[in-house]
């Protein structure tokens, strides 16, 4: 399938970058934002497009359409790319489900842990039966920030991005379409491989919980990755990484450690031997400041769509996740939020409580 | 029993304050330090005493003896007060056990959680059978710091300090002696009441784990209590407090919340309604800076002799302690130390694995 028309759903940092970069690449791009966040697209409507600078394509991109009308956004497009925080995937499934068309490919960029699963489950629960392929990337393509009205800066474009569909028998066709947009993506075995390669979940909750006082007292007046991830914080991130890798092992998947992922993704110029070293030598992230508040998506998103599904899947396949669970518990307590209530539990992802070989069948075919 | 001669074991901040204050109160005080830390008493030997200023007695105190010889220190004294970090209680039990004399009273000041139990267990394991009473205070009498050679500043003297012996049938006699020294102490029901009223354990591990990056990056360049205990950090401390109070409830003990304890102890001028408010209005602690490193006793001591015994006792009496366990786990991980290996487990405290009514009998009589 040849992709010509794309809908980008979500007009935050990533939506700006994707819409502009893909427009400059020659695609017709519709950019959608929910009506409640119409302010995100107003500057684009005023300027008639998006200015993009940095590590992706550069220039002024006249996106075809910027709208809060989901029906207009997804009509007749070949590929729908959802760039919202993963904690909104279920909400976006509800928003676009009625308008999906046979033959469309939906890509959650990123899916984080269990994105395609939760999306597929939600579509199914709504009774939508269309011939769509649902896929995800392991993390976001662009490290970027909106730096002015309709103006986005891309610090880095992820290299070697894992991609998979659910069920995995659809990965080939979906990937063929997606890698036209991003040649640097690689097909993973299934969404457990993409989902369990959630680098943000390794880093962000540990960094937030273990700098909670600093963030709250100074409103985040320090560099999150370079200052906040000290050797001790990095050790906790490494313990999360180790638990994550053990879960991948239980699925028979090859697990790549965080420093290696950061090198492969182009975040560090050389292979670092520890997570601390990797963060110290990071190129893309080094300018990024800490969030100014603790209920930021660095906790909210990565707990709900990273640590919680990892803990749940770990329990299912018999892998202990004490560090992951400790961080979930302290995140809930410090923010006074019950993240479990909205997190990606097995139930929400539709993961059947069956043995590992049936689970692998299910990931491949959607049945077991 | 009338106390005339006292041995203070440990010549750190608290040992300096206790030795000086009690000398000025008219007692004969021997101050002991372990040979490895002889530097702690050298300035005292040079100056012939200790200068004390602040909230306790003030003046220059000519202590009777400052020594690294334990035999000389404890010979013929009426009361032995141990002022070392509670993680060294077992070591000090070994040091002084051979020289204990019938009729002596040993007071761990503070005992933190399970101090008297661990001390008694160690003495018993060593086969020492003397008629000594072993007691503890819930927290340290003095908030103080050494501010120069043989010079200590007392910021605050704790009011309404709980005191108990193990077994509790000895509390009356031990307390009669101890309150000569400190009229502000109150007899508790048993060492579970003193031990579970460990305010430092409520505050310090939460404050350290949740400011780990800040401490490590700046070497503790902020005020620990006033800056570091932000509302979110205080919420985690409150969750620890709540778990601690539930354990006390299981023993039928009246639990007093942290803000109330801080008011009763004279740390805040008025009753605060939350832990955050209590810390913001603290008088005694407000000048105290954060530790400059993470393996500081704020983690080491309060995990080993606070959170670990609380978690163990909680499990024994059927009270969940998820916040306490999360902080223990992250402390171990960030510091790369297995605190369980040296922490006060049930085994180390000699706590029998029996039901609550037998446990209460044992706390009272030493038998069940």
| Full strand arrangement of the beta sheet holding B59-61 | B59-61, B50-54, B151-157, B142-148
A239 touching chain B per CB within 8 A: yes
A335-343: which pairs have CB atoms within 8 A and are 24 or more residues apart?
A: A335/A294, A335/A295, A335/A299, A335/A300, A335/B232, A336/B235, A337/A295, A337/A300, A339/A300, A339/A303, A339/A304, A339/A308, A340/A308, A342/A87, A342/A304, A343/A303, A343/A304, A343/A305, A343/A308, A343/A309
Query: How much is the average pLDDT of B83-109?
Result: 96
Helix (H) / strand (E) element for A208: namely: helix A199-209
A325 touching chain B per CB within 8 A: yes
A219 touching chain B per CB within 8 A: no
Question: Tokens standing for A142?
Answer: 């662009």
Where among A189, A214, A232 does a domain terminate? A189
| CA distance linking residue A138 with residue A189, whole number of Å | 12
Where among B195, B230, B262 does a domain terminate? B195
- pLDDT tens, residue by residue, A206-234: 999 999 999 999 999 999 999 999 999 99
Question: Tokens standing for B277?
Answer: 């408010």
In terms of domains, do B162 and B273 share one?
no
In terms of domains, do B146 and B291 share one?
no
Minimal Cβ distance to B230: which of A217, A236, A335: A217
Q: Which residues of B touch A326 (CB under 8 A)?
A: 325-327, 329-330
B332 touching chain A per CB within 8 A: no
In terms of domains, do B135 and B217 share one?
no
Provide the number of structural domains found in chain A.
2
pLDDT surpassing 80 at residue A1? no
**Residue B157: band (very low, low, confident or very high) from pLDDT cuts 50, 70, 90:** very high
In terms of domains, do A204 and A185 share one?
no
Phi-psi group of A165: left, alpha or beta (phi > 0 → left; psi -120 to 50 → alpha; rest → beta): beta
Cis amide leading into B110 (omega within 30): yes
Q: Which residues of B touch A209 (CB under 8 A)?
A: 209-210, 330
Question: Tokens standing for A267?
Answer: 């975040």
A292 touching chain B per CB within 8 A: no
In terms of domains, do A209 and A250 share one?
yes
Q: Which residues of B touch A227 (CB under 8 A)?
A: 213, 217
Residue in chain A nearest B229 by alpha carbon:
A213
Query: How much is the average pLDDT of B314-330?
Result: 98
Query: Token pair 């780990």 is at which residue?
Result: B212
- Beta-bridge partner residues of B289: B223
Domain of A97: which CATH number? 3.40.50.720
| CA distance linking residue B261 with residue B247, whole number of Å | 17
Q: Judge: A330–B323 Cβ closer than 8 Å, yes or no.
A: yes
Q: Which residues of A touch B232 (CB under 8 A)?
A: 212-213, 216, 294, 334-335
- pLDDT tens, residue by residue, A65-102: 999 999 999 999 999 999 999 999 999 999 999 999 99
- Does the residue A222 lie in any domain? yes
Minimal Cβ distance to B228: which of A213, A323, A336: A213
In terms of domains, do B179 and B235 share one?
no
Q: Which residues of A touch B235 (CB under 8 A)?
A: 333-334, 336
Q: Which residues of A touch B207 (CB under 8 A)?
A: 213
Contact A124, A156 (CB under 8 A): no
Contact A130, A102 (CB under 8 A): yes
A299 touching chain B per CB within 8 A: no
| CA distance linking residue B260 with residue B25, whole number of Å | 30
**Residue B278: band (very low, low, confident or very high) from pLDDT cuts 50, 70, 90:** very high
Q: Judge: B330–A325 Cβ closer than 8 Å, yes or no.
A: no
- Roughly what angle, to the nearest 10 degrees, separates helices A322-335 and B231-250? 110
In terms of domains, do A219 and A179 share one?
no
Query: Token pair 């005080």 is at which residue?
Result: B29
B323 touching chain A per CB within 8 A: yes
- Does the residue A368 lie in any domain? no
In terms of domains, do A313 and A213 share one?
yes
- Give CA angle at A231 (A229, A233), nearest 5°: 50
B217 touching chain A per CB within 8 A: yes
Residue of B293, B330, B331, B336 best to disrupt the A interface, most CBs of A under 10 A = B330
Q: Judge: A330–B330 Cβ closer than 8 Å, yes or no.
A: yes
A48 touching chain B per CB within 8 A: no
- Does the residue A297 lie in any domain? yes
Q: Judge: B227–A217 Cβ closer than 8 Å, yes or no.
A: yes
- pLDDT tens, residue by residue, B178-215: 999 999 899 999 999 999 999 999 999 999 999 999 99
Structure confidence at residue B233 (pLDDT):
98
Q: Judge: B230–A213 Cβ closer than 8 Å, yes or no.
A: yes
The 3-state DSSP composition of chain B as helix, strand, coil percent (nearest 5) reads: 50, 15, 35
Q: Which domain holds residue A323?
A: 199-363
- pLDDT tens, residue by residue, A321-366: 999 999 999 999 999 999 999 999 999 999 999 999 999 999 999 9
- pLDDT tens, residue by residue, B80-93: 999 999 999 999 99
Structure confidence at residue B303 (pLDDT):
98
In terms of domains, do B75 and B127 share one?
yes
In terms of domains, do B213 and B302 share one?
yes
- Does the residue A70 lie in any domain? yes
**Residue A109: band (very low, low, confident or very high) from pLDDT cuts 50, 70, 90:** very high
CA distance A352 to chain B (A): 27
Contact B74, B64 (CB under 8 A): no
In terms of domains, do B116 and B254 share one?
no
- 3-class SS at B87? helix
Where among B160, B195, B230 does a domain terminate? B195
**Residue A287: band (very low, low, confident or very high) from pLDDT cuts 50, 70, 90:** confident
Structure confidence at residue A241 (pLDDT):
98
Helices (H) and strands (E) in chain A, counts: 18, 12
Structure confidence at residue B227 (pLDDT):
96
A303 touching chain B per CB within 8 A: no
């Amino acid at each position: 399938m040849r992709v010509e028309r794309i809908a980008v759903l979500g007009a935050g940092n990533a939506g700006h970058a994707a819409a502009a970069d893909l427009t400059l690449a020659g695609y017709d791009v519709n950019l959608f934002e929910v009506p409640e966040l119409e302010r995100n697209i107003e500057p684009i409507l005023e300027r008639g497009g998006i200015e993009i600078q940095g590590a992706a394509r550069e220039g002024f991109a006249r996106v075809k359409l910027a709208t809060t009308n989901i029906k207009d956004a997804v009509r007749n497009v070949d590929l729908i790319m959802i760039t919202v925080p993963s904690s909104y995937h279920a909400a976006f499934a509800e928003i676009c489900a009625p308008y999906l068309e046979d033959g469309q490919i939906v890509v959650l960029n990123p899916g984080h842990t269990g994105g395609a699963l939760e999306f597929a489950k939600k579509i199914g629960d709504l009774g939508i039966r269309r011939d769509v392929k649902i896929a995800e990337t392991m993390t976001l393509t662009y490290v970027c920030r909106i730096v002015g009205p309709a103006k986005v800066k891309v610090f880095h474009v992820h290299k070697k991005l894992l991609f998979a569909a659910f069920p995995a028998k659809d990965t080939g066709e979906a990937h063929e379409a997606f890698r036209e947009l991003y040649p640097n993506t690689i097909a993973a075995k299934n969404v457990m491989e993409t989902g369990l390669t959630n680098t943000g979940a390794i880093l962000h909750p540990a960094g937030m919980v273990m700098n909670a006082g600093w963030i709250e007292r100074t409103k985040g007046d320090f560099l999150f990755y370079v200052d906040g991830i000290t050797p001790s914080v990095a050790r906790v991130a490494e313990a999360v990484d180790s638990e994550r890798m053990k879960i991948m092992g239980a699925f028979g998947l090859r697990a790549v450690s965080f420093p290696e992922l950061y090198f492969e993704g182009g975040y560090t110029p050389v292979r670092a031997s520890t997570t601390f070293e990797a963060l110290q030598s990071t190129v893309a992230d080094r300018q990024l400041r800490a969030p100014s508040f603790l209920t930021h998506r660095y906790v909210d998103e990565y707990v709900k769509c990273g640590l919680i599904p990892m803990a749940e899947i770990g329990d299912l396949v018999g892998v202990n996740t004490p560090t992951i669970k400790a961080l979930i518990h302290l995140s809930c307590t410090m923010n006074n939020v019950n993240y479990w209530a909205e997190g990606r539990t097995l139930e929400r992802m539709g993961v059947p409580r069956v043995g590992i070989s049936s689970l692998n069948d299910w990931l491949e075919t959607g049945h077991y």
